[in-house]
Structure 1
Amino acid sequence: MRKFLSGIYLLLLFAGAVNAQAVAPDWGKIPAHPRLLLLKGEEESLRALVKTDASWKKVHDEIIRECDSILQKYPLKRDMIGRRLLQVSREGIRRIFFLSYAARTTGKKKYASRCEEELLAVCNFRDWNPDHFLDVAEMTLAVSIGYDWLYNDLPEKSKAVIKKAIIEKGLLPSQNSKYNGWLRGNNNWNQVCNAGITYGALAVYEEQPQVSQELLLRALTSIEKPMAEYAPAGNYKEGYSYWGYGTSFNVFFISALEKIFGTDFGLAEKPGFMESAAFYQHLISQSGLPFNYSDAGGLEGLQPAMFWFANRQKDPSLLYIEKQYLQESKFNARTNRLLPAALIWANGISADNITLPKVKTWSGKSDNQVVMMRSGWQKNQGIYVGFKGGTPSVSHGHMDAGSFVMDANGVRWSADLGMQQYNSLESAGLSIWDMSQHSERWQVFRYTNYAHSTLTVNNHLQQVKADAPLIKFSDDSLNMRAVLDLSAAYAGDLTRAQRGIAIANGQYVNVRDELQAGDSICVIRWAMLTPATVSLVDGNQAQLTSKGQKMILSVIGLPDVKLTTWRTDPPRSYDAVNPGTTLIGFEVTVPANTKLAYNVMLVPGEGITIRRSDLKSLDQW
C-alpha cells in the first residue's frame, strides 16, 4: 500500500511540475558514478580543450595553481559568522570542486587525497546550519560533486561517512518544514536550495531511490516559482550579483538534468529565462563596471553560466564580456567557486569565435524595471547609462527609483554604492529583511534615496510599495532614450514626477525631470553620486575630473540654481564608510501645485555642443 500511495504522490507532484511538452523522468537512465555535470570519460574533452586553446589553458592552469595552494592550507572548520556558515560552505564548494576537477583532469592522486580530506572534514561538522538553509544547500552541492566525481577512488569507509552526511545533514533537513520555506519562495534562495538538494539526491540515489525521486520531483515543481520571475523579457529583479548567484545555481540544476535524463523537462523554455543572459551582459559597461543597483556587490568576473546560455542559444556574441575576462585573465579563481563549470559549459568554444554584440540597448518590463543604453561595445570607449525604475519592495531592493549610473570613455561619473554586508547590520540588531515603509532597513544610508543618483523631496524617503514603470523607450542610435514615471515613489509630496535619460548623438547624457508639487510647498533635492573629484563649481555648472579626464555637469531651465556638494560620510555607527565619493546636485523650492521642468546635461570631454533640440519636453521624446 505504501509503495502504491507513494507512486500516486509522485505522479501528482510531477503533474504540476512541468509543461505539456516535457516527459516524465526515466529513472533507469541514471548512470553509474560519476553522473553530475561530467560523466565518466568526459574529462578527456577538457584535457583536449586546454591543450588546443590558450585561453582555456590559462583558466585550467589557474585552477590547478589554486589547488596547489589549497594543499598548503588546513582543512575547513565550522566557523560561523553571525548566523551564517555560508562563507565556509562557499569555500567548501571552491575547494572540493577545484580539487575534484584537478583529480579528474590531471589524474594526480594528491588532489583526490586532499579532496577526500576536505570532504571528511565538513562531513564531520555537527550540522551544516539548517537555520540558514543556503549554507546547507551550498555544502550539499559541494559534497555531492566531490563524492560523485571521486566515487571510484574513495575508500568505502570514507564513502560511508560522506553519503551519510549528504542524507542526514542535507536531504533530511530539507524535508523539515522548519527549514524549507524556500520551497515557496520566488527568489535566489529557491534556486540555490533546490539545486543543492537535487545534487545530493542524485549523488546518493542508490541508497534511497524513492526519497531521491520525491526530492527531484519536488524541486521540479518548486523551481518554477523563481523561474517565472524572469518573464517576460529576462529581467532578474534582484540585480547583478543575485543573477550571478540564483541563475548560476538554476543552470547547475538544469545542466544536471540534461546530463542524466537528456531533457530539462521544459524549464529552459520558461518565458524570459534564456533572454536573461542578454540582460546580464548589458549590466556591464564598456569600462568593465557593473550596473550595481540594489544589493549588488563588486565585479563578478568570468561567469560560467554565460557559456551554458551561449551554447544553448548558439549565440557566441553573448560571451563578448566573458571574452575580455578570458583575454585579461580575470578568472577570480580565489573567489569564483564555480569556475570549473566554465570549462564544462564552454563546449569547446574558442574566444576567437566570440563576436561583437549588435544590440546596444536593453529594456524589459518586470517588477523591478531597468534600462541599459550604450553608444558602443568597445572597451573604455563611448557612453554607458544604466537607469533604474521599479520598486524598493522587491527582494534586496533599495530606494533607488530614478537613479542611474553613467560611464564615459572608461570613467564612471555617476555611481551606485551597492550593498552593505548583511552581518554588519544584523550584528547591530537591525531588522533589515522587513520591507515595510517604516522598517529599520530604511535607516541604512546606502539603502535610501539619500545615497542614490535620484531625487529626494522634503527630505522624505521614497514610498516602498511604489512602482516606477518604464513609459517610453527608444533605441534610436542618435538619441537613445527612456522615460520613467516616478510619481508613485513621491506620493504625498509630488502629484507628478517623470524622469527621462537620453544619450544624445553618442556624445553626452541628458537627464530631464518634469515635476509638479502637491498641495504644499516642496523642497526638491537633485543629487548624483560620483566617485570623481568635483574640481570646480560655478552657479549652474560644475567640472568633474577623474583618471585624467573631465566632465561638465550643467543645469538648464533653472536660472538661479546653484550647484553644491554633500558628503557621503556614514550618518550612523553601523553604516558602511563610502570613501572617495561625493554627492553633487542642487536644491530648489517649489510652491504648492506648481510645475517644474529642467535638464541636467552630463558632457564628457571638450568641444561638444549641446543641441537645443535635446531640451524638449518628455511628451516629445
Structure 2
Amino acid sequence: MKPLIFFLKTALLLCLIRASALAQADPIGPSVKLPDHPRILLLQGEEQALKRTIGANPTWNNFHQAILTECDNLLTVAPVERIQIGRRLLDKSREALRRLFFLSYAYRMTQQPKYLQRGEKELLAISAFSDWNPSHFLDVAEMTMAAAIGYDWLHKGLSAQSRATIKEAILKKGIEPSFDSKYNGFLKVTNNWNQVCNAGMTYGALAIYEDQPELARKVFNRAIETIVLPMKEYAPEGAYPEGYGYWGYGTGFNVMFISALEKAFGKDFGVSQQPGFLKTAGYLANMTGPTGSSFNYSDAGTGGSLQPAMFWFASKLNDPSLLWVERDRLTKDGAGKFVNNRLLPATLIWGGGIDLNNVAEPKSLLWTGGGKNPVALMRSSWSDPAAIFVGLKAGSPSASHAHMDIGSFVMEADGVRWAMDFGMQDYNSLESKGVQLWGRDQNAQRWQVYRYNNFVHNTLTVNNELQVVESFAPMTSTSASPSFTSATTDITQAYKNSLAKANRGIAIVDKAYVVVRDEVETLPKETLVRWTMLTPADVKITAPNRAELTKDGKKLILQVQEPAGITLKTSPTNPSHDYDAPNPGTTLLTFDAPMPASSKGAITVLLLPEKTAGNATKPVQPLAQWPK
C-alpha cells in the first residue's frame, strides 16, 4: 500500500508542477474575454470622467485644448510618408503615433467627424506602406501602436473596408514579423528595445484580438514573460541605467504596456511588482534641477520634458508629490509646449484624478540608487528657484547607451547650470558618416566621438587615457544631513591601468556651496591627473587656483583648495573630427595635478555661489570622515 500511496503522491506533485508551469507560460489563459472596442487604455464611456476633470481644473482644461488645437493644425497636413533616414523609419513611426493618438483622443472627447476622417486618412496611409521597416524593429513597434490606437479608438466610425485594410496591416506588417527570428532579438535584450517592442506588439494584438485570438494570446503571454528582462534593471532602488532620456522612452512604453493590461484584463499579471520598478518614479522625480533641465548623463538630450508615465506612477502609488516637477512644467510652460510628445494624451488618462493644485513638496533632499549605473541626486531645496542641485554619476561605460562619464557631475545654483554635460549627439549624424557608434570594446570608435569620452566630462582623466570600459564604480556612502548632504563613489576601476586607488565625493555644505573632493593613490610611476569641468558660463581666471564664472547676471567662484601649485586653464570645446557636433557657448575649465610615483594625494575644489563666495568655509575632511 505504501508504494502505491507514494506513487500517487508523486504523480499528483508532478501534475501540480506541470500545471503551474503551464499557468506561468500561459498567464492569459484560453477563456479570456476582452471588452468591446475601444478596449485600449480608455474604455467606452470613460471619456465622461475625463470631461469632468477638464471642466473642474484650468490646467487640465488648457491641456485638453492644446491637444485639440494641435489636431486642428493636423487637419490640413499631408499624411506621414514612408521616407527612411539611414537605417531608420523611426521618426515617421513616432509622428504617426503622435498624430493618431491625438486625433483619436480628439474624436472620442468631441465626437467631431473631422477628427475621425483625418485619423482614418492617416491610418490608411501607413497601412499602404510597403512595410514598417522590420530590420529596425523599434520602427515597427511604434507604427503598430499607432495603428492599434487609431483602429481601436476610431473603430465604430471607420468604414468596413478601412477596418479590413488597417487590421491586415497590423497583422502582416506589425505582429507577424515579430515572430521572425531575424527581427525579434528584442525579446532577449535588457534595454528599452524590449520594452518598446513588447508594448507595440501587445497594442497590435489588443486591437485585432477578436480576429486573431490565438495569435494575440501568444503575443500577450510572450510579452508578459519577456518584458521582465529589462525591468530587472530597475533593481534595487529604481535607477534606470540608460539615463533620463531613455527612461522616458523605455519606462514610458513599459507603463503603456502595463496600463493596457490593467484596462483590458483588470490586472497586470504581477509585471509592475518587479523589484525596483515602482521605485523608479523617485529616480525620475529627482533627476531635474531647479532650472528645469535634467541630469543628462549617457545618451540624453540637454533639457527636460514632460514625462507622462510619472502621472501613472503618482496615481498607482497615491503620491502626488512625485509630480512636483511635472506639475511645474504643465503650469509654467503650458501643455502647448509639449504637443510633440506622442504619448501626451495618456497624461490625462493616468493623471486626471489628481488635483494638480494640491501637489505636496517632496520631503527628501537626497535620492540615491544602485544598479548598473548608480546615481546620487541632491539639492538644498525643492521650492527655492535659486537652490543648489547636484547630480553625481557612478556606474560603468559598458552599460547600455553609457558614456565614459564615471564620477561626472552636474551642478546648479541661482537658477544657472554651472557644471553641465553635453549629453548625446544625434545618431544619424554619426552613422551617416560611417562612425561605428555601437562598439563597446576599449578601442571602439564610439569613444573617439567628442561628447562620449571622459576628456569632456566633469571627471578625472589620468595620463590622458580613456576610462576603462569594463569598469564599475559603486556608490560607497551617502548622507542626507542638511548641513552636509553628500555622496561618495569608488572610481578606482575606471582608472585601474593608471591609478592604484581613486575615490570621489561631492557634498552640498550648509545648503550654501558645493565641495568636490578626489582622493587618489598612484602606481609606481609618475602620474598626471587632470580635473575637468564643462560649463556654459563665461570664465575669468582671477588667480592660479581661482576662477570667476558668470552667466545670466549670476556669478560662481571656483576655488581649488588643494593641491597647491596648480594652474587653472580654459580651452574651447572644438571637436577634432568632422563627424562631431559643434558645441558653441561652452568652455572646458581644467587643471593638471602631477603626482609622484607610489604617492597619495587629494584634490579639493569648492563651487561657491556669489552670495557665499566671501564667507568662511568649513575645512574639508578626508572622505573616510564624511558622514554616512
TM-score normalized with structure 1 length: 0.96
Q: Which residue of structure 2 lines up, in the alignment, with residue 580 of structure 1?
A: 585
Letter of the aligned partner of 1:550 in structure 2? K
Q: Report if aligned partners of 1:537, 1:564 keep a CA contact under 8 Å in 2.
A: no
Query: What is the rounded CA distance, in whole Å, between the counterparts of 1:587 and 1:173 in structure 2?
Result: 55
Listed one character per residue, the Cα deviations across residues 291-324 of structure 1 (whole Å, up to 9, x for unaligned) are 0000001434221111110010000100111110
Query: What is the rounded CA distance, in whole Å, between the counterparts of 2:58 and 2:504 in structure 1?
Result: 47
Listed one character per residue, the Cα deviations across residues 83-131 of structure 1 (whole Å, up to 9, x for unaligned) are 1000000000110000000000011000000000000000100000000
RMSD in angstroms over aligned alpha carbons? 1.6
Q: Which residue of structure 2 lines up, in the alignment, with residue 473 of structure 1?
A: 478
Query: What is the rounded CA distance, in whole Å, between the counterparts of 1:226 and 1:13 in structure 2?
Result: 23
Deviation at 1:617, TM superposition (A): 0.7
Q: Report if aligned partners of 2:290, 2:415 keep a CA contact under 8 Å in 1.
A: yes
Q: Which residue of structure 1 lines up, in the alignment, with residue 395 of structure 2?
A: 390
SS in 2 for 1:359: coil
Distance 1:229 1:371, change over 3 A: same
Match of 1:417 among 411, 419, 422: 422
Deviation at 1:536, TM superposition (A): 3.4
Q: Which residue of structure 1 lines up, in the alignment, with residue 24 of structure 2?
A: 15
Match of 1:288 among 275, 292, 310: 292
Query: What is the rounded CA distance, in whole Å, between the counterparts of 2:418 and 2:262 in structure 1?
Result: 44
Q: Which residue of structure 1 lines up, in the alignment, with residue 374 of structure 2?
A: 369
Q: Report if aligned partners of 1:86, 1:134 keep a CA contact under 8 Å in 2.
A: yes
Query: What is the rounded CA distance, in whole Å, between the counterparts of 1:329 and 1:247 in structure 2?
Result: 23
Query: What is the rounded CA distance, in whole Å, between the counterparts of 2:408 and 2:36 in structure 1?
Result: 52
Q: Report if aligned partners of 1:147, 1:162 keep a CA contact under 8 Å in 2.
A: yes
Q: Report if aligned partners of 1:290, 1:298 keep a CA contact under 8 Å in 2.
A: yes
Q: Which residue of structure 2 lines up, in the alignment, with residue 617 of structure 1?
A: 622
Deviation at 1:47, TM superposition (A): 1.6
Match of 2:246 among 239, 242, 249: 242
> Which aligned pairs between 1:474-553 and structure 2 lie closer than 5 A?
474-553=479-558
Q: Which residue of structure 2 lines up, in the alignment, with residue 4 of structure 1?
A: none
Unpaired runs of 5+ residues, structure 1, are 1-7, 18-22
Deviation at 1:27, TM superposition (A): 4.5
SS in 2 for 1:615: coil
Unpaired runs of 5+ residues, structure 2, are 1-16
Deviation at 1:150, TM superposition (A): 0.6
Letter of the aligned partner of 2:329 in structure 1? Y
Higher deviation after alignment, 585-594 or 460-469 = 585-594
Deviation at 1:211, TM superposition (A): 0.7
Match of 2:264 among 260, 264, 279: 260
Q: Which residue of structure 1 lines up, in the alignment, with residue 439 of structure 2?
A: 434
Q: Which residue of structure 2 lines up, in the alignment, with residue 3 of structure 1?
A: none
SS in 2 for 1:343: helix
Q: Report if aligned partners of 1:14, 1:217 keep a CA contact under 8 Å in 2.
A: no
**Is residue 2:238 matched to residue 1:229?**
no
> Which aligned pairs between 1:46-65 and structure 2 lie closer than 5 A?
46-65=50-69
Listed one character per residue, the Cα deviations across residues 147-180 of structure 1 (whole Å, up to 9, x for unaligned) are 0001101000000000000000000000000000
- Sequence identity (%): 50
Match of 1:459 among 464, 469, 475: 464
Letter of the aligned partner of 1:126 in structure 2? S
Deviation at 1:378, TM superposition (A): 1.5
Deviation at 1:231, TM superposition (A): 0.7
**Is residue 2:98 matched to residue 1:89?**
no
**Is residue 2:174 matched to residue 1:170?**
yes
SS in 2 for 1:29: coil
Letter of the aligned partner of 1:525 in structure 2? R
Deviation at 1:451, TM superposition (A): 1.1
Query: What is the rounded CA distance, in whole Å, between the counterparts of 2:500 and 2:228 in structure 1?
Result: 39
Q: Which residue of structure 2 lines up, in the alignment, with residue 77 of structure 1?
A: 81
Q: Which residue of structure 2 lines up, in the alignment, with residue 143 of structure 1?
A: 147
Higher deviation after alignment, 586-595 or 62-71 = 586-595
Q: Which residue of structure 2 lines up, in the alignment, with residue 407 of structure 1?
A: 412
Match of 2:136 among 132, 138, 144: 132
Query: What is the rounded CA distance, in whole Å, between the counterparts of 2:85 and 2:22 in structure 1?
Result: 37
SS in 1 for 2:333: coil
**Is residue 2:116 matched to residue 1:107?**
no
Letter of the aligned partner of 1:449 in structure 2? N
Deviation at 1:199, TM superposition (A): 0.5
Q: Report if aligned partners of 1:137, 1:193 keep a CA contact under 8 Å in 2.
A: yes
> Which aligned pairs between 1:321-400 and structure 2 lie closer than 5 A?
321-331=325-335, 332-400=337-405
SS in 1 for 2:142: helix
Deviation at 1:537, TM superposition (A): 3.3
Q: Report if aligned partners of 1:504, 1:614 keep a CA contact under 8 Å in 2.
A: no
Deviation at 1:206, TM superposition (A): 1.0
Query: What is the rounded CA distance, in whole Å, between the counterparts of 2:384 and 2:166 in structure 1?
Result: 47
Q: Report if aligned partners of 1:537, 1:563 keep a CA contact under 8 Å in 2.
A: no
